[in-house]
Structure 1
Amino acid sequence: MSREDPPAMRRIPLSLTSLALVCLLTACGGEQGPTEAATPTVSPSTEPSTASVLNATTPDPMPTSAKPAPQQKSASGTAPATTTTAPAPVVKAPLTCAHLAGAKLGSSKTPYNGYPDYLPLTEGQWSGEDGATVTLQKPCGIGDLDGDGADDAVGVVSVNSGGSGTFYTVAVWRNSGGLPVFRALTDLGDRTPVVSISVAGRRATVVWLTRSPSRGMAELDIRRTSVYKLSGSTLTEVSHSDAPYNP
Protein backbone atom coordinates (compact mmCIF):
# COMPACT_ATOMS: atom_id res chain seq x y z
CA MET A 1 0.00 0.00 0.00
CA SER A 2 1.51 3.24 -1.10
CA ARG A 3 1.66 6.31 1.22
CA GLU A 4 -0.40 9.26 0.02
CA ASP A 5 -0.16 12.88 0.98
CA PRO A 6 -2.95 14.37 3.12
CA PRO A 7 -5.71 15.95 1.21
CA ALA A 8 -4.99 19.37 2.55
CA MET A 9 -1.46 19.34 1.24
CA ARG A 10 -2.67 18.45 -2.17
CA ARG A 11 -4.92 21.50 -2.27
CA ILE A 12 -2.12 24.06 -1.80
CA PRO A 13 -1.20 25.56 -5.10
CA LEU A 14 2.41 25.82 -6.11
CA SER A 15 2.25 29.57 -6.28
CA LEU A 16 1.44 29.85 -2.61
CA THR A 17 4.34 27.57 -1.77
CA SER A 18 6.73 29.82 -3.62
CA LEU A 19 5.33 32.92 -1.91
CA ALA A 20 5.83 31.42 1.51
CA LEU A 21 9.40 30.57 0.72
CA VAL A 22 10.18 34.11 -0.36
CA CYS A 23 8.57 35.47 2.81
CA LEU A 24 10.76 33.27 4.98
CA LEU A 25 13.91 34.42 3.19
CA THR A 26 13.09 38.25 3.49
CA ALA A 27 10.93 40.21 5.83
CA CYS A 28 8.54 37.66 6.98
CA GLY A 29 10.86 35.88 9.42
CA GLY A 30 14.17 35.62 7.71
CA GLU A 31 17.24 37.63 8.45
CA GLN A 32 16.76 41.40 8.23
CA GLY A 33 19.01 43.69 6.28
CA PRO A 34 21.42 46.15 7.74
CA THR A 35 19.90 48.47 10.34
CA GLU A 36 21.52 51.51 8.74
CA ALA A 37 19.24 51.20 5.77
CA ALA A 38 16.09 51.25 7.85
CA THR A 39 14.27 54.57 8.18
CA PRO A 40 14.00 55.49 11.86
CA THR A 41 10.57 56.08 13.21
CA VAL A 42 10.16 58.93 15.78
CA SER A 43 7.57 58.18 18.40
CA PRO A 44 6.02 60.90 20.50
CA SER A 45 7.73 61.27 23.91
CA THR A 46 5.72 60.22 26.89
CA GLU A 47 7.73 62.44 29.32
CA PRO A 48 6.33 65.90 30.22
CA SER A 49 7.90 68.89 28.45
CA THR A 50 9.70 71.76 30.21
CA ALA A 51 6.96 74.27 29.27
CA SER A 52 4.27 72.02 30.75
CA VAL A 53 6.27 71.67 33.97
CA LEU A 54 6.65 75.45 34.27
CA ASN A 55 3.00 75.98 33.53
CA ALA A 56 2.08 73.41 36.15
CA THR A 57 4.29 74.91 38.89
CA THR A 58 3.68 78.61 38.13
CA PRO A 59 0.01 79.54 38.58
CA ASP A 60 -1.48 82.25 36.41
CA PRO A 61 -2.01 85.53 38.27
CA MET A 62 -5.55 85.97 39.41
CA PRO A 63 -7.26 89.00 37.89
CA THR A 64 -8.27 91.64 40.42
CA SER A 65 -10.43 94.73 40.21
CA ALA A 66 -8.82 96.50 43.22
CA LYS A 67 -7.00 99.72 42.46
CA PRO A 68 -3.31 99.83 43.31
CA ALA A 69 -2.53 101.56 46.61
CA PRO A 70 -1.07 105.05 46.16
CA GLN A 71 2.62 105.23 46.69
CA GLN A 72 3.86 107.27 49.62
CA LYS A 73 6.05 110.15 48.60
CA SER A 74 9.39 110.21 50.24
CA ALA A 75 10.70 113.26 52.00
CA SER A 76 13.31 113.70 49.30
CA GLY A 77 10.55 114.17 46.72
CA THR A 78 8.95 117.13 48.47
CA ALA A 79 9.61 120.64 47.30
CA PRO A 80 12.37 122.41 49.22
CA ALA A 81 11.09 124.76 51.90
CA THR A 82 11.44 128.41 50.99
CA THR A 83 12.92 130.72 53.58
CA THR A 84 10.87 133.88 54.03
CA THR A 85 12.73 136.79 55.47
CA ALA A 86 10.52 139.01 57.59
CA PRO A 87 10.69 142.66 56.60
CA ALA A 88 12.81 144.75 58.86
CA PRO A 89 10.78 146.97 61.21
CA VAL A 90 10.53 150.58 60.19
CA VAL A 91 12.84 152.64 62.34
CA LYS A 92 11.39 156.02 63.17
CA ALA A 93 13.81 158.92 63.07
CA PRO A 94 14.25 160.33 66.58
CA LEU A 95 12.80 163.63 67.64
CA THR A 96 14.75 165.62 70.21
CA CYS A 97 14.10 168.67 72.32
CA ALA A 98 16.68 170.55 70.25
CA HIS A 99 14.38 170.28 67.21
CA LEU A 100 11.81 172.46 68.96
CA ALA A 101 14.05 175.53 68.69
CA GLY A 102 13.14 175.78 65.00
CA ALA A 103 9.59 174.40 65.15
CA LYS A 104 6.33 176.02 64.15
CA LEU A 105 4.01 176.93 67.02
CA GLY A 106 0.24 176.88 66.57
CA SER A 107 -1.85 176.44 63.42
CA SER A 108 -4.96 177.81 61.77
CA LYS A 109 -6.94 174.94 63.33
CA THR A 110 -5.38 175.27 66.78
CA PRO A 111 -4.13 178.86 67.07
CA TYR A 112 -1.64 179.92 69.71
CA ASN A 113 -2.45 183.03 71.76
CA GLY A 114 -5.08 184.10 69.23
CA TYR A 115 -2.73 184.30 66.23
CA PRO A 116 -4.51 183.12 63.06
CA ASP A 117 -1.53 181.15 61.73
CA TYR A 118 1.52 179.36 63.07
CA LEU A 119 4.51 181.20 64.53
CA PRO A 120 7.95 180.12 63.25
CA LEU A 121 10.46 179.83 66.05
CA THR A 122 14.05 180.78 65.33
CA GLU A 123 16.56 179.61 67.90
CA GLY A 124 13.66 179.16 70.27
CA GLN A 125 12.12 182.64 69.89
CA TRP A 126 9.60 184.60 67.90
CA SER A 127 8.94 188.33 67.97
CA GLY A 128 5.81 189.94 66.53
CA GLU A 129 5.01 193.42 65.22
CA ASP A 130 2.63 193.81 68.17
CA GLY A 131 5.62 193.76 70.53
CA ALA A 132 4.99 190.24 71.81
CA THR A 133 7.89 187.86 72.32
CA VAL A 134 7.47 184.10 72.44
CA THR A 135 10.23 182.09 74.11
CA LEU A 136 10.74 178.31 74.22
CA GLN A 137 11.42 177.24 77.82
CA LYS A 138 13.92 174.58 78.87
CA PRO A 139 11.60 171.88 80.27
CA CYS A 140 10.89 169.28 77.59
CA GLY A 141 9.70 165.66 77.43
CA ILE A 142 10.12 163.02 74.70
CA GLY A 143 7.83 159.99 74.32
CA ASP A 144 5.07 158.41 72.28
CA LEU A 145 1.79 160.19 72.98
CA ASP A 146 -0.31 159.08 70.00
CA GLY A 147 0.68 155.39 69.92
CA ASP A 148 2.25 155.37 66.45
CA GLY A 149 5.57 154.03 67.75
CA ALA A 150 7.44 157.30 67.26
CA ASP A 151 8.50 159.55 70.12
CA ASP A 152 6.73 162.90 70.19
CA ALA A 153 7.87 166.06 71.96
CA VAL A 154 6.16 168.01 74.70
CA GLY A 155 7.49 171.48 75.47
CA VAL A 156 6.46 174.75 77.03
CA VAL A 157 6.53 178.29 75.69
CA SER A 158 5.91 181.67 77.30
CA VAL A 159 4.69 184.91 75.79
CA ASN A 160 5.30 188.42 77.05
CA SER A 161 3.65 191.39 75.43
CA GLY A 162 5.68 194.07 77.23
CA GLY A 163 3.76 194.15 80.51
CA SER A 164 4.28 192.38 83.81
CA GLY A 165 2.49 189.24 82.83
CA THR A 166 4.17 186.17 81.33
CA PHE A 167 1.78 183.45 80.14
CA TYR A 168 2.86 179.82 79.92
CA THR A 169 1.53 177.20 77.52
CA VAL A 170 2.25 173.46 77.16
CA ALA A 171 2.52 172.42 73.50
CA VAL A 172 2.83 169.06 71.72
CA TRP A 173 4.66 168.31 68.51
CA ARG A 174 4.28 164.95 66.85
CA ASN A 175 7.17 163.14 65.19
CA SER A 176 7.03 163.32 61.38
CA GLY A 177 10.19 161.67 60.05
CA GLY A 178 12.28 163.15 62.82
CA LEU A 179 10.80 166.64 62.41
CA PRO A 180 8.39 168.36 64.84
CA VAL A 181 4.88 169.04 63.56
CA PHE A 182 2.61 171.04 65.82
CA ARG A 183 -0.32 169.07 67.23
CA ALA A 184 -1.96 170.54 70.34
CA LEU A 185 -1.60 172.95 73.29
CA THR A 186 -3.07 173.87 76.67
CA ASP A 187 -2.66 177.10 78.60
CA LEU A 188 -1.42 177.17 82.20
CA GLY A 189 -1.91 180.83 82.98
CA ASP A 190 0.00 183.92 84.01
CA ARG A 191 3.32 183.52 85.84
CA THR A 192 3.05 179.76 86.25
CA PRO A 193 6.48 178.45 85.30
CA VAL A 194 7.02 174.76 84.42
CA VAL A 195 9.53 172.78 86.47
CA SER A 196 9.68 169.48 84.50
CA ILE A 197 7.98 167.42 81.76
CA SER A 198 8.06 163.65 81.24
CA VAL A 199 6.25 161.29 78.88
CA ALA A 200 5.38 157.65 79.62
CA GLY A 201 2.46 155.31 78.88
CA ARG A 202 1.06 157.75 76.33
CA ARG A 203 0.70 160.33 79.06
CA ALA A 204 2.54 163.59 79.64
CA THR A 205 3.31 164.57 83.21
CA VAL A 206 3.91 168.28 83.76
CA VAL A 207 5.13 169.68 87.09
CA TRP A 208 4.50 173.41 87.42
CA LEU A 209 4.05 176.16 89.99
CA THR A 210 0.86 178.02 90.77
CA ARG A 211 -0.84 179.75 93.67
CA SER A 212 -3.75 179.47 96.03
CA PRO A 213 -6.80 181.62 95.24
CA SER A 214 -6.03 183.89 98.21
CA ARG A 215 -2.48 184.64 97.04
CA GLY A 216 -1.27 187.43 94.81
CA MET A 217 0.05 186.80 91.28
CA ALA A 218 3.66 186.82 92.41
CA GLU A 219 3.07 184.45 95.32
CA LEU A 220 3.63 180.85 94.25
CA ASP A 221 2.77 178.35 96.96
CA ILE A 222 1.59 175.23 95.10
CA ARG A 223 3.64 172.67 93.25
CA ARG A 224 1.15 170.99 90.92
CA THR A 225 1.64 167.75 89.00
CA SER A 226 -0.74 167.47 86.07
CA VAL A 227 -1.20 164.43 83.82
CA TYR A 228 -2.31 165.01 80.23
CA LYS A 229 -3.43 162.79 77.39
CA LEU A 230 -3.50 163.60 73.70
CA SER A 231 -6.69 163.06 71.70
CA GLY A 232 -6.47 164.29 68.13
CA SER A 233 -5.49 167.94 68.38
CA THR A 234 -6.62 168.30 71.98
CA LEU A 235 -4.41 167.99 75.06
CA THR A 236 -6.62 167.28 78.06
CA GLU A 237 -5.74 167.14 81.77
CA VAL A 238 -6.91 163.79 83.19
CA SER A 239 -5.69 164.31 86.77
CA HIS A 240 -3.52 166.49 88.98
CA SER A 241 -2.16 166.55 92.49
CA ASP A 242 -0.89 169.48 94.57
CA ALA A 243 1.90 169.79 97.08
CA PRO A 244 2.99 172.82 99.12
CA TYR A 245 5.70 174.96 97.54
CA ASN A 246 8.06 177.13 99.50
CA PRO A 247 10.50 179.16 97.38
Structure 2
Amino acid sequence: MRRIPSALTALTLLCLLAACGGGQAEQSGAAPTVGPSAEPSTASVLNATTPEASPTSETPAPQPKSASPTASAISTTPAAAPAKKPMTCAHLAQARLGSSKVPYNGYPDYLPLADGQWSGEDGATVTLQKPCGIGDLDGDGADDAVGAVAINSGGTGTFYTLAAWRNSGGTPTFRALADLGDRTPVVSITVADGRATVVWLTRGPGRGMAELNIKRTSVYKLSGSKLTEVSHTDAPYNP
Protein backbone atom coordinates (compact mmCIF):
# COMPACT_ATOMS: atom_id res chain seq x y z
CA MET A 1 0.00 0.00 0.00
CA ARG A 2 1.32 3.34 -1.04
CA ARG A 3 1.80 5.92 1.72
CA ILE A 4 0.52 9.47 1.27
CA PRO A 5 3.20 11.93 1.94
CA SER A 6 2.79 13.69 5.24
CA ALA A 7 3.03 17.11 3.72
CA LEU A 8 0.12 16.50 1.39
CA THR A 9 -1.97 15.10 4.19
CA ALA A 10 -1.43 18.20 6.26
CA LEU A 11 -2.36 20.47 3.39
CA THR A 12 -5.58 18.56 2.68
CA LEU A 13 -6.59 18.70 6.28
CA LEU A 14 -5.94 22.41 6.38
CA CYS A 15 -8.15 23.01 3.35
CA LEU A 16 -11.01 21.03 4.82
CA LEU A 17 -10.81 22.97 8.04
CA ALA A 18 -10.76 26.25 6.19
CA ALA A 19 -13.81 25.30 4.10
CA CYS A 20 -15.88 24.23 7.06
CA GLY A 21 -14.87 27.04 9.38
CA GLY A 22 -15.24 29.76 6.77
CA GLY A 23 -18.93 29.19 6.22
CA GLN A 24 -19.63 29.08 9.89
CA ALA A 25 -17.59 32.21 10.47
CA GLU A 26 -19.46 33.90 7.66
CA GLN A 27 -22.77 32.92 9.22
CA SER A 28 -21.91 33.63 12.85
CA GLY A 29 -19.27 36.35 12.58
CA ALA A 30 -20.93 38.64 10.02
CA ALA A 31 -21.71 41.99 11.59
CA PRO A 32 -25.34 42.97 11.18
CA THR A 33 -25.95 45.83 8.83
CA VAL A 34 -27.11 48.93 10.75
CA GLY A 35 -30.08 50.50 9.02
CA PRO A 36 -32.54 53.20 9.92
CA SER A 37 -34.70 52.26 12.89
CA ALA A 38 -38.37 51.93 12.37
CA GLU A 39 -39.02 52.94 16.03
CA PRO A 40 -39.62 56.68 16.71
CA SER A 41 -36.78 58.46 18.43
CA THR A 42 -37.05 60.10 21.87
CA ALA A 43 -36.60 63.55 20.38
CA SER A 44 -39.40 63.01 17.87
CA VAL A 45 -41.72 61.82 20.63
CA LEU A 46 -40.99 64.91 22.75
CA ASN A 47 -41.49 67.17 19.79
CA ALA A 48 -44.80 65.55 19.00
CA THR A 49 -46.17 65.72 22.56
CA THR A 50 -44.78 69.13 23.64
CA PRO A 51 -45.59 71.80 21.09
CA GLU A 52 -43.06 74.61 21.02
CA ALA A 53 -44.53 77.96 21.96
CA SER A 54 -44.23 80.34 19.05
CA PRO A 55 -43.09 83.87 19.91
CA THR A 56 -45.65 86.63 19.49
CA SER A 57 -45.19 90.36 19.06
CA GLU A 58 -48.55 91.25 20.62
CA THR A 59 -48.45 92.99 24.01
CA PRO A 60 -50.77 91.37 26.51
CA ALA A 61 -53.84 93.48 27.25
CA PRO A 62 -53.67 95.20 30.64
CA GLN A 63 -56.03 93.84 33.21
CA PRO A 64 -58.71 96.31 34.30
CA LYS A 65 -58.11 97.71 37.76
CA SER A 66 -60.84 97.40 40.27
CA ALA A 67 -62.24 100.63 41.72
CA SER A 68 -60.79 101.66 45.01
CA PRO A 69 -63.24 101.24 47.88
CA THR A 70 -62.27 104.68 49.11
CA ALA A 71 -62.99 106.31 45.75
CA SER A 72 -66.36 104.61 45.38
CA ALA A 73 -67.33 105.72 48.86
CA ILE A 74 -66.78 109.42 48.07
CA SER A 75 -70.10 111.21 47.78
CA THR A 76 -70.79 113.30 44.69
CA THR A 77 -73.18 115.53 46.59
CA PRO A 78 -71.83 119.13 46.55
CA ALA A 79 -70.90 120.53 49.91
CA ALA A 80 -73.40 122.95 51.35
CA ALA A 81 -72.33 126.59 51.44
CA PRO A 82 -71.37 127.81 54.91
CA ALA A 83 -74.20 129.59 56.68
CA LYS A 84 -73.97 133.38 56.89
CA LYS A 85 -73.61 134.69 60.42
CA PRO A 86 -76.59 136.86 61.38
CA MET A 87 -76.32 140.51 62.25
CA THR A 88 -78.88 142.37 64.38
CA CYS A 89 -79.65 145.97 65.22
CA ALA A 90 -78.04 145.39 68.62
CA HIS A 91 -74.65 145.01 66.90
CA LEU A 92 -74.79 148.64 65.75
CA ALA A 93 -74.44 149.92 69.33
CA GLN A 94 -70.73 149.00 69.19
CA ALA A 95 -70.14 149.74 65.51
CA ARG A 96 -67.84 152.22 63.85
CA LEU A 97 -69.45 155.22 62.18
CA GLY A 98 -67.78 156.79 59.15
CA SER A 99 -64.27 156.18 57.78
CA SER A 100 -61.33 158.06 56.33
CA LYS A 101 -62.77 157.52 52.84
CA VAL A 102 -66.38 158.27 53.80
CA PRO A 103 -66.17 160.74 56.70
CA TYR A 104 -69.18 161.35 58.91
CA ASN A 105 -69.98 165.03 59.55
CA GLY A 106 -66.44 166.06 58.49
CA TYR A 107 -64.55 163.92 61.01
CA PRO A 108 -61.32 162.60 59.41
CA ASP A 109 -61.65 159.07 60.82
CA TYR A 110 -64.34 156.74 62.09
CA LEU A 111 -66.20 157.35 65.34
CA PRO A 112 -66.38 154.31 67.66
CA LEU A 113 -69.85 153.99 69.14
CA ALA A 114 -70.08 152.69 72.70
CA ASP A 115 -73.52 151.58 73.80
CA GLY A 116 -74.89 153.52 70.84
CA GLN A 117 -73.20 156.84 71.63
CA TRP A 118 -70.06 158.84 70.98
CA SER A 119 -68.90 162.12 72.53
CA GLY A 120 -66.12 164.28 71.08
CA GLU A 121 -63.72 166.83 72.56
CA ASP A 122 -65.47 169.46 70.47
CA GLY A 123 -68.61 169.01 72.56
CA ALA A 124 -70.53 167.08 69.91
CA THR A 125 -72.56 164.02 70.82
CA VAL A 126 -73.62 161.33 68.35
CA THR A 127 -76.52 159.07 69.29
CA LEU A 128 -77.71 155.94 67.50
CA GLN A 129 -81.49 156.11 66.94
CA LYS A 130 -83.89 153.24 67.58
CA PRO A 131 -85.21 152.74 64.02
CA CYS A 132 -83.13 150.08 62.27
CA GLY A 133 -83.60 147.80 59.28
CA ILE A 134 -81.98 144.41 58.65
CA GLY A 135 -81.78 142.81 55.19
CA ASP A 136 -79.50 142.05 52.26
CA LEU A 137 -78.59 145.40 50.80
CA ASP A 138 -75.63 144.48 48.54
CA GLY A 139 -76.81 141.11 47.17
CA ASP A 140 -74.19 138.89 48.82
CA GLY A 141 -76.77 136.76 50.65
CA ALA A 142 -76.00 138.15 54.12
CA ASP A 143 -78.25 140.51 56.07
CA ASP A 144 -76.85 144.02 56.28
CA ALA A 145 -78.08 146.90 58.47
CA VAL A 146 -79.34 150.42 57.88
CA GLY A 147 -79.71 152.72 60.88
CA ALA A 148 -80.03 156.39 61.76
CA VAL A 149 -77.77 158.58 63.88
CA ALA A 150 -78.25 162.12 65.17
CA ILE A 151 -75.52 164.60 66.09
CA ASN A 152 -75.91 167.56 68.40
CA SER A 153 -73.08 170.02 68.83
CA GLY A 154 -74.58 171.96 71.73
CA GLY A 155 -76.94 174.21 69.80
CA THR A 156 -80.61 173.92 68.88
CA GLY A 157 -79.97 171.85 65.79
CA THR A 158 -80.01 168.06 65.70
CA PHE A 159 -78.89 166.64 62.36
CA TYR A 160 -80.05 163.18 61.23
CA THR A 161 -78.12 160.87 58.96
CA LEU A 162 -78.78 157.40 57.54
CA ALA A 163 -75.89 154.93 57.76
CA ALA A 164 -75.42 151.53 56.17
CA TRP A 165 -73.28 148.71 57.56
CA ARG A 166 -72.23 145.62 55.66
CA ASN A 167 -72.36 142.20 57.31
CA SER A 168 -68.78 140.92 57.65
CA GLY A 169 -69.15 137.54 59.34
CA GLY A 170 -71.74 138.88 61.77
CA THR A 171 -69.82 142.10 62.45
CA PRO A 172 -71.08 145.45 61.10
CA THR A 173 -68.63 147.17 58.75
CA PHE A 174 -69.40 150.75 57.87
CA ARG A 175 -70.33 151.29 54.22
CA ALA A 176 -72.34 154.40 53.30
CA LEU A 177 -74.15 157.57 54.42
CA ALA A 178 -77.15 159.73 53.43
CA ASP A 179 -77.90 163.06 55.15
CA LEU A 180 -81.54 163.84 56.01
CA GLY A 181 -81.18 167.31 57.53
CA ASP A 182 -81.86 169.25 60.69
CA ARG A 183 -84.57 168.07 63.03
CA THR A 184 -85.93 165.41 60.68
CA PRO A 185 -86.43 162.34 62.89
CA VAL A 186 -86.67 158.82 61.43
CA VAL A 187 -89.84 156.84 62.13
CA SER A 188 -89.02 153.41 60.62
CA ILE A 189 -86.54 151.57 58.38
CA THR A 190 -87.05 148.33 56.45
CA VAL A 191 -84.66 146.55 54.06
CA ALA A 192 -85.86 144.21 51.31
CA ASP A 193 -84.90 143.34 47.71
CA GLY A 194 -81.66 145.30 47.94
CA ARG A 195 -83.38 148.53 48.96
CA ALA A 196 -83.98 150.41 52.17
CA THR A 197 -87.37 152.03 52.77
CA VAL A 198 -87.16 154.89 55.27
CA VAL A 199 -90.12 156.74 56.77
CA TRP A 200 -89.14 160.09 58.27
CA LEU A 201 -90.60 163.49 59.12
CA THR A 202 -89.82 166.71 57.35
CA ARG A 203 -91.42 170.05 56.41
CA GLY A 204 -92.70 171.80 53.36
CA PRO A 205 -91.41 175.05 51.87
CA GLY A 206 -91.90 178.12 54.03
CA ARG A 207 -92.27 176.17 57.23
CA GLY A 208 -90.19 176.82 60.33
CA MET A 209 -87.58 174.32 61.52
CA ALA A 210 -89.84 173.17 64.34
CA GLU A 211 -92.83 172.65 62.04
CA LEU A 212 -93.00 169.04 60.82
CA ASN A 213 -95.96 168.59 58.48
CA ILE A 214 -94.82 165.88 56.03
CA LYS A 215 -94.33 162.15 56.53
CA ARG A 216 -91.99 161.11 53.74
CA THR A 217 -91.36 157.56 52.59
CA SER A 218 -88.04 157.39 50.76
CA VAL A 219 -86.52 154.41 48.97
CA TYR A 220 -82.72 154.18 49.02
CA LYS A 221 -80.33 152.01 47.08
CA LEU A 222 -76.71 151.35 47.90
CA SER A 223 -74.47 153.02 45.32
CA GLY A 224 -70.79 152.67 46.17
CA SER A 225 -70.22 154.63 49.39
CA LYS A 226 -73.57 156.40 49.24
CA LEU A 227 -77.18 155.63 49.95
CA THR A 228 -78.92 157.18 46.96
CA GLU A 229 -82.60 158.07 47.09
CA VAL A 230 -84.34 156.56 44.05
CA SER A 231 -87.91 157.67 44.90
CA HIS A 232 -90.12 159.10 47.63
CA THR A 233 -93.76 159.76 48.41
CA ASP A 234 -95.19 162.33 50.83
CA ALA A 235 -98.22 162.25 53.08
CA PRO A 236 -99.56 164.95 55.40
CA TYR A 237 -98.33 164.76 58.96
CA ASN A 238 -100.27 166.18 61.87
CA PRO A 239 -98.50 165.75 65.23
Q: Compute the TM-score of the two structures, normalised by the length of structure 1.
A: 0.67
**CA–CA distance in structure 2, aligned partners of residues 124 and 197 of structure 1:** 17
Residue 123 (structure 1) shift: 0.3
2:173 paired with 1:164: no
**CA–CA distance in structure 2, aligned partners of residues 128 and 116 of structure 1:** 13
Secondary structure of the equivalent of 1:163? coil
Map 1:99-110 to 2 at 5 A.
Answer: 99-110=91-102
Matched residue pairs, number?
A: 169
Aligned to 1:210: 202
Residue 86 (structure 1) shift: 1.3
2:177 paired with 1:175: no
Moved over 4 A (4+): 79-82
Residue 85 (structure 1) shift: 2.4
Secondary structure of the equivalent of 1:100? helix
Map 1:74-93 to 2 at 5 A.
Answer: 83-93=75-85
Secondary structure of the equivalent of 2:197? strand
**CA–CA distance in structure 1, aligned partners of residues 149 and 205 of structure 2:** 24
**CA–CA distance in structure 1, aligned partners of residues 72 and 173 of structure 2:** 49
Match of 1:233 among 205, 222, 225: 225
**Percent identical:** 80
**CA–CA distance in structure 1, aligned partners of residues 227 and 72 of structure 2:** 55
Residue 88 (structure 1) shift: 1.3
Unaligned runs of 5+ in 2: 1-70
Match of 1:193 among 160, 169, 185: 185
Residue 82 (structure 1) shift: 5.9
1:211 aligned partner, one-letter code: R
Residue 80 (structure 1) shift: 6.4
1:128-168 Cα deviation digits (max 9, x unpaired) = 00000000000000000000000000000000000000000
2:223 paired with 1:220: no
2:125 paired with 1:130: no
Residue 81 (structure 1) shift: 8.9
**CA–CA distance in structure 1, aligned partners of residues 81 and 231 of structure 2:** 35
**CA–CA distance in structure 2, aligned partners of residues 166 and 233 of structure 1:** 23
The structure with the largest alpha-carbon Rg is 1
Secondary structure of the equivalent of 2:181? strand
Secondary structure of the equivalent of 1:212? coil
1:50-97 Cα deviation digits (max 9, x unpaired) = xxxxxxxxxxxxxxxxxxxxxxxxxxxxx9696312111221100100
**CA–CA distance in structure 2, aligned partners of residues 242 and 152 of structure 1:** 26
2:121 aligned partner, one-letter code: E
**CA–CA distance in structure 2, aligned partners of residues 242 and 124 of structure 1:** 30
**CA–CA distance in structure 2, aligned partners of residues 213 and 83 of structure 1:** 67
Secondary structure of the equivalent of 2:91? helix
Residue 214 (structure 1) shift: 1.2
**CA–CA distance in structure 2, aligned partners of residues 83 and 220 of structure 1:** 64
